[in-house]
Amino acid sequence: MKWSGASLSLVFLVCIFGIFLAAGCTQTAGTGQVSVTTTPADTREQVRLETTMGNITIALDPDMPVTTGNFLNLTKSGFYNNVTFHRVIAGYIVQAGDPTGTGRGGPGYTIPDEFTAHNHNLRGTVAMANKGVPDTGSSQFYINLRDNTGLDEGYPVFGTVTEGLDVADAISQVPVGDKDRPLENVTILRAYVLP
């Protein structure tokens, strides 16, 4: 069978169209707004935090190799086990990752900030905390309990809570004292990577 130029062009166009569909290209959602397809949570690496108030599962962003890699390495090493939520603000954030519980501790190193085009501190996202200046993140992270897009330029989002956002909400409601520290510890008993 001989292929004509028109037939080859049609096959080429069908192949290109199929590639775009398979890649999850950007599409309009009927409102005139553009929606971007992201990696489904069930195909991303996930970390479970078993806390004294319930479990929180976080799907990690594969587009953040430094930040996600750091979080995974710390989780696998047991760094987050028995670490408290040292800062909780009702309806805003819950923050953990400091083994000293003071908000000043960490693993002894920092990592560079890593931002993506989809860096949005929205409700349910998990971001790397820092000292308020660039490239000072290490082990501390927070879970956004509302849309906090004013934090987008300074705090890299590297995950999304897929289960247990209600637990994070409940943690944010515990009584606090000085520097938004809970009066009674809320602890990550164990953190581990899900199989």
Q: What does each of the 195 residues of the chain score in pLDDT, given as a tens digit?
A: 454 544 434 344 334 334 333 344 333 333 333 333 355 656 899 999 999 999 999 999 999 999 999 999 999 999 999 999 999 999 999 999 999 999 999 999 999 999 999 999 999 999 999 999 999 999 999 999 999 999 999 999 999 999 999 999 999 999 999 999 999 999 999 999 999
Q: Please report the pLDDT score of residue 29 as a whole number.
A: 37
- The count of C-alpha atoms lying within 13 angstroms of the C-alpha of 107, restricted to the half-sphere facing its C-beta, is 19
Q: Side chain identity at 53, as an amino acid letter?
A: M
Q: Please report the pLDDT score of residue 191 as a whole number.
A: 98
Please compute Rg for the chain using Cα positions: 21
Angle, CA 152 vertex, CA 41 and CA 182 arms, to 5°: 80
Q: Which residues of 94-129 are buried (b: 16+ CB within 10 A; e: fewer)?
A: bbbbbbebebebbbeebbebbeeeebebebbbbbbb
User: Three-class SS of residue 96?
Assistant: strand
Can you list the alpha helix ranges (DSSP code H) found in the chain?
A: 5-23, 65-76, 165-171
The pTM for the full model equals: 0.79
Q: Which residue, among 29, 45, 5, 34, has the nearest Cα to 192 in the 3D structure?
A: 45
Can you list the alpha helix ranges (DSSP code H) found in 48-164?
A: 65-76
